[in-house]
Chain A
Amino acid sequence: MEMEKHIFTMLVDNQPGVLSRVAGLFSGKGFNIESLVTAETDTPLISRITIVTKANKPVIEQIEKQLNKLVNVIKIRDVTGPEAVKREMALICVKARPEHRGEILRIVDIFRCKIIDIGLEHYIMEVTGDSDKINALLKLLRPMGIKKIARTGTMALIREPN
C-alpha cells in the first residue's frame, strides 16, 4: 500500500510526561515520526504538538485514533490538506569563503532568509517556509559547504474560515 505523508496537529495538556506518552505511542506501535514540534500555547495549561508522519492509509487512521485515545490529547486534526498553513524554520551555518559570499547573499535574498551571524569563514542564516523550500535552499548551499543545521520540523495552524 502506498505511503502517505500526513501532518497532525493536536492540543494537549501541558503536563510533564505528555510528550513522552505521544512519542511512546509512536515507538510502541511502530509508527514513524518524521518531525515533532511542541510548545506552550497562549493558554499555559495547553500545549500544541505537530507531528509529521508517513504511513499507509489504514495505519494513518490508526495513528489518528490512537492519539485521540490518549487521555491528555484534547483535540487532534489531520492538517495535511490546504486548510492549514504550514511552516518550518531552519538555522543553517554555511561556509562562507570570500569567493562564495556574493553567491550566498544572492541566495539569501532569493529565499528571503536572514543572516543572523557572520564570521570570517561562515554565515548563519535563518529561513522559514515549507519543508520543500528549505530543502531547495539546502541543495543550493551544499556546494559551499554546510557546517551545521538545526530544523524545527513542520508547524501547522488551521486557517480561519473566511
Chain B
Amino acid sequence: MKLTGSQIMMEVLKSEGVDTIFGFPGGAVLDIYDALDKTDIRHILVRHEQGAVHAADGYARASGKVGVCLVTSGPGATNTVTGIASSYMDSIPVVVITGQVPSHLIGNDAFQEVDIVGITRPCTKHNYLVSRIEDLAVILKEAFHLARTGRPGPVLVDIPKDLTSASIEFECPKDVRLKSYNPNYKPNMRQLKKVVQLIQEAKRPMIFSGGGVILANASKELTEFTHKTRMPLTSSLMGLGAFPGTDPLWLGMIGMHGTYRANMSTSECDLLISIGVRFDDRVTGKTDAFAAQANIVHIDIDPTSIRKNIPVSVPIVGDCKISLEQLNRLIDEIDLGDLSKRRGEWLDLIEQWKNTNPLAYTQDEIIKPQYVVEKLYELTGGEAIITTEVGQNQMWAAQYYHFNKPNHFITSGGLGCMGFGLPAAIGAQVACPDKMVVDIAGDGSIQMNSQEMATAVQFNLPVKIVILNNGYLGMVRQWQELFYEKRYACTSMEHCPDFVKLAEAYGAIGLRAVTPEEVSPVLKEGLSIPKPVIMDFTVAKEEGVYPMVPAGAPITEMLLV
C-alpha cells in the first residue's frame, strides 16, 4: 500500500498504542496535522510548546505510557527544549516529533529553520533527523523503543516537510533491532546474594529508593522487600509514593529539605540499600560525609549512575523490579530471626529523632502554606495526583502531602523547572480522567505557563490549581534571607495578576482564601467543582522550608528553624 510520510507516521503511532498527542501546529507540520485529523488520535492543543512537552511528561508519569508531542520547526522546536531537558533529567519516556524545513532548504537558514537535533543532542536519550522517507517508520519505532526501555527518556525525531508529503510503499516494521543498545535488566545473582549477606550482618540498615522504582513499576516489590526486612526507608523527591508515606517504616524524604530523621538515619546507618536513585547533589549534600559509615548497595538500570557521584560497595546493574523480586526470593530463603527485636534499637533511635525534630509549623492568624497542603491532603484523602511547580511550593507538597501510591506525585525533580506543574497536571488529567489532579503552585511559577489554563478549559480538563501566594519567588528569597543577609534582590513579585480574575478570564473558576478559616471551605468548594479551578491562598510572606541543608554541607547539618 502506498502511503505518504504523514500517513506512515499515523500508522506507526497507532501501532505504538498512541491515543493522545500534545502539540501545536505550524507550517512544517501541516501535512502531519492533516493526516492526524483523519485518525482517532486525540490532539490536545496547548498554548505554548513547552507546555506540550510538560503535558506529555505528566501524561507519561500518570499513565506509565510514552507521552507524545508534535510541534513545528524553528520556534516550535526550540520551545520544547526546556520540557525535553526536564524529561531527560527525570528519565521520563517522551517522544517529541518536530517538523523541519524541506530537505533541500536544510542549512540555508530557511524560514523557521533550526538545527533542533544539534540543540537537543545533550538533553535527549537519543535523537534523529530523518533524511529518507524509507527510514521514517523504522526511526519512529526506534524512538518509542528507546524512550520506554532501559533507563527511559525523551527521544526527538525531526522530520523535514517534504518527507511528510512524499509517498512510498509501506509495511509497518514489526520489531526494533538496535545492535548497540541492549539495556541489562537482569541483575547479577552473586551481587544480590552479597546484599542479602550484608542485610544479615547489618545492625542499622536502611533503604533509599528513588524515581527508578516508580519507572520500573516496582512499588509493590519495594514495599514487600521493606516489610520483609523491616528496614526503615527514605526516598528522593522523585521516589515519593513508591512506598506508602503513612507506613511506620517511612522516614520521610531525604536531602536538602529532607526530614531530620531521614538525614540522620542516612548518616548513622551501616547499610544503605539504594534502589533506582542517582545521588543528586540535593540528596547527598557533601558527598564525603554522605552515609560515611555505611556499606552502600546501588541498584540501577543505568551503569553510568553507579559510582558517578558516590563510591559504592555493591554495584548492581539491573531493573529495579527484577532485582527486588530476586531479593525478596532470596530473603525468603534465609532466617532473619526476630526482626522486631533485631531492629528495635535502631528503630527506637529513629523514633527519637522523629519526636525531637518532626516536620512542624505554627498556624497563626496568617495562612501557612504547609497548612494548605495538609488540608489538601486531608480533603483529597491522599488520593489526588499532585503536580507541582518548582520552589517552596514543591518542597511543601513533598513534605506535607503523604504519598501512598506511585505515579501520584509529578514534579520536575532534576531540572527544577518552573512552569511545569500546570501543563503536567493537564497531561495527568488526560491520562486519568477520573482522578482528582491538583497542581500545587507558587505565585511566581504559575505565571511561567499560566497560558495553559486555556488548554484546560478548552478540553474540559478539571485540573485544580492551588497557588501558595506569598508575593515572592519564595525559595530564592529564602536563600537570600539565609545566605545573603536578607537582601531580597529581585525576588519580590510586586505585581501579580489577580488570579481569581485570571481564572475567570480563561473561563475557569477562581477562588481565594486570605484567612486560615477560609482554607478548608475554599478547598472543599474548589475540589468539588468539575471544571478547572484556581484557588489563590494568600500565605505568610516569609515562611521558609525547613529543615534545610545549606548547599554543599553534610546532610546532617540542618537548619531547623
In the assembled complex, the Cα of A19 lies from the Cα of B302 at a distance in Å of 23
Determine whether A126 belongs to the interface, using a CB cutoff of 8 Å to chain B. no
**Could you tell me if A71 and B304 are in contact, using CB atoms closer than 8 angstroms?**
no
**CB 8 Å contact bits of B109-149 with A (1 = contact, 0 = none):** 00000000110011001100100000000000000001000
**Could you tell me if B178 and A71 are in contact, using CB atoms closer than 8 angstroms?**
yes
**Could you tell me if A62 and B308 are in contact, using CB atoms closer than 8 angstroms?**
yes
Determine whether A73 belongs to the interface, using a CB cutoff of 8 Å to chain B. yes
Residues in chain B near residue A75, CB distance under 8 A: 180
In the assembled complex, the Cα of A71 lies from the Cα of B125 at a distance in Å of 8
For residues 59 through 86 of chain A, which have their beta carbon under 8 Å from a beta carbon of chain B? 61-62, 65-66, 68-69, 71-75
In the assembled complex, how far is the CB of residue B26 from the closest CB belonging to chain A, in whole angstroms? Answer: 24
29 pairs from A and B in contact (CB 8 Å cutoff)? A13-B180, A16-B129, A17-B117, A17-B118, A17-B129, A20-B118, A20-B121, A24-B121, A24-B122, A25-B122, A58-B307, A58-B311, A61-B307, A62-B304, A65-B303, A65-B304, A68-B303, A69-B302, A69-B304, A71-B125, A71-B126, A71-B146, A71-B178, A71-B180, A72-B180, A73-B180, A74-B179, A74-B180, A75-B180
Determine whether B483 belongs to the interface, using a CB cutoff of 8 Å to chain A. no
In the assembled complex, how far is the CB of residue B288 from the closest CB belonging to chain A, in whole angstroms? Answer: 13
| Interface of B toward A, CB cutoff 8 Å | 117-118, 121-122, 125-126, 129, 146, 178-181, 302-304, 307-308, 311
In the assembled complex, the Cα of A74 lies from the Cα of B121 at a distance in Å of 18
Contact of A17 among B121, B181, B302, B307 (CB under 8 A): B121
Interface of A (DSSP majority class): helix
In the assembled complex, the Cα of A17 lies from the Cα of B311 at a distance in Å of 33
**Could you tell me if B121 and A21 are in contact, using CB atoms closer than 8 angstroms?**
yes
Determine whether A44 belongs to the interface, using a CB cutoff of 8 Å to chain B. no
For residues 1 through 56 of chain A, which have their beta carbon under 8 Å from a beta carbon of chain B? 13, 16-17, 20-21, 24-25, 28
Residues in chain B near residue A24, CB distance under 8 A: 121-122
| Interface of A toward B, CB cutoff 8 Å | 13, 16-17, 20-21, 24-25, 28, 58, 61-62, 65-66, 68-69, 71-75
In the assembled complex, how far is the CB of residue A15 from the closest CB belonging to chain B, in whole angstroms? Answer: 9
Residues in chain B near residue A72, CB distance under 8 A: 180
In the assembled complex, the Cα of A127 lies from the Cα of B184 at a distance in Å of 44
In the assembled complex, the Cα of A36 lies from the Cα of B249 at a distance in Å of 52
Contact of B181 among A61, A62, A65, A71 (CB under 8 A): A71
In the assembled complex, the Cα of A71 lies from the Cα of B179 at a distance in Å of 9
In the assembled complex, the Cα of A80 lies from the Cα of B181 at a distance in Å of 25
Residues in chain B near residue A28, CB distance under 8 A: 122
In the assembled complex, the Cα of A58 lies from the Cα of B287 at a distance in Å of 14
Q: Which single residue of chain B is at the shortest CB-CB distance from A17?
A: B117
In the assembled complex, how far is the CB of residue A73 from the closest CB belonging to chain B, in whole angstroms? Answer: 6
In the assembled complex, the Cα of A66 lies from the Cα of B181 at a distance in Å of 13
Residues in chain B near residue A17, CB distance under 8 A: 117-118, 121, 129
**Could you tell me if A69 and B121 are in contact, using CB atoms closer than 8 angstroms?**
no
In the assembled complex, how far is the CB of residue B176 from the closest CB belonging to chain A, in whole angstroms? Answer: 12
In the assembled complex, the Cα of A138 lies from the Cα of B258 at a distance in Å of 59
In the assembled complex, how far is the CB of residue A142 from the closest CB belonging to chain B, in whole angstroms? Answer: 40
In the assembled complex, how far is the CB of residue B119 from the closest CB belonging to chain A, in whole angstroms? Answer: 11
Q: Which single residue of chain B is at the shortest CB-CB distance from A69?
A: B304
In the assembled complex, how far is the CB of residue A143 from the closest CB belonging to chain B, in whole angstroms? Answer: 45
* 10 further contact pairs, Cβ within 8 A, besides A71-B125, A71-B180: A13-B180, A16-B129, A17-B118, A62-B308, A69-B302, A69-B303, A71-B126, A71-B146, A71-B181, A75-B180
Residues in chain A near residue B118, CB distance under 8 A: 17, 20
In the assembled complex, how far is the CB of residue B311 from the closest CB belonging to chain A, in whole angstroms? Answer: 8
Q: Kindly list the 6 A-B residue pairs having the minimum CB-CB distance in the complex, ordered from nearest.
A: A74-B180, A65-B304, A71-B126, A28-B122, A65-B303, A71-B181
Residues in chain B near residue A21, CB distance under 8 A: 121
In the assembled complex, the Cα of A103 lies from the Cα of B178 at a distance in Å of 56
Residues in chain A near residue B117, CB distance under 8 A: 17
Q: Which single residue of chain B is at the shortest CB-CB distance from A71?
A: B126
In the assembled complex, the Cα of A65 lies from the Cα of B178 at a distance in Å of 18
**Could you tell me if B121 and A66 are in contact, using CB atoms closer than 8 angstroms?**
no
Q: Which single residue of chain A is at the shortest CB-CB distance from B178?
A: A71
Residues in chain A near residue B308, CB distance under 8 A: 62
In the assembled complex, the Cα of A73 lies from the Cα of B118 at a distance in Å of 18
**Could you tell me if B304 and A66 are in contact, using CB atoms closer than 8 angstroms?**
yes
Q: Which single residue of chain B is at the shortest CB-CB distance from A59?
A: B308
Residues in chain A near residue B302, CB distance under 8 A: 69
In the assembled complex, how far is the CB of residue A65 from the closest CB belonging to chain B, in whole angstroms? Answer: 4
Residues in chain A near residue B178, CB distance under 8 A: 71
In the assembled complex, the Cα of A17 lies from the Cα of B130 at a distance in Å of 12
In the assembled complex, the Cα of A58 lies from the Cα of B311 at a distance in Å of 9
In the assembled complex, how far is the CB of residue A156 from the closest CB belonging to chain B, in whole angstroms? Answer: 20
In the assembled complex, how far is the CB of residue A64 from the closest CB belonging to chain B, in whole angstroms? Answer: 9
Residues in chain B near residue A68, CB distance under 8 A: 303
In the assembled complex, how far is the CB of residue B290 from the closest CB belonging to chain A, in whole angstroms? Answer: 15
